[in-house]
Copies of this chain bind each other. A is one copy, B any other.
Amino acid sequence: MDIEYKAFQLEITPEEIAQLIDHTKLNAWEGPEAIKNLCREAIQYNFYSVCLNSCYVSLAAETLQNTDIKVCSVVGFPLGAMESRSKAWETQQAVENGAHEIDMVINVGMLKSQQEKYVKADIEDVVSAADSALVKVIIETCYLTDEEKIKACELSKESGADFVKTSTGFGAYGAFPYDINIMRKIVGPNMGVKAAGGIKNFADAARAILANGNIIDPLKFRLGASAGINIINNMKWLSLSDNWVIDEIPCRLCPVRATTFGKMSESQYSYHKSRCHMCQYKQYNLFYD
Contacts and interface: CB of A to CB of B under 8 A. Distances in A.
Contacts of A26: 79, 81
Contacts of A81: 26, 28, 30, 53-56
Contacts of A82: 53-55, 77, 90
B54 A86 contact: yes
A83 B109 contact: no
A140 B28 contact: yes
Interface in A2-45: 26-34
A141 B34 CA distance: 20
A82 B113 CA distance: 27
Interface size class of A (residues with CB under 8 A): 35 or more
Nearest to A143: B29
A196 to B, nearest CB: 15
Contact of A29 (B54, B85, B94, B268): B268
Interface of A: 26-34, 53-57, 77-86, 89-90, 93-94, 97, 105, 107-110, 112-113, 115, 140, 143, 170-171, 264-265, 268
8 contacts: A32-B115, A53-B79, A54-B83, A55-B107, A77-B79, A78-B78, A86-B86, A86-B93
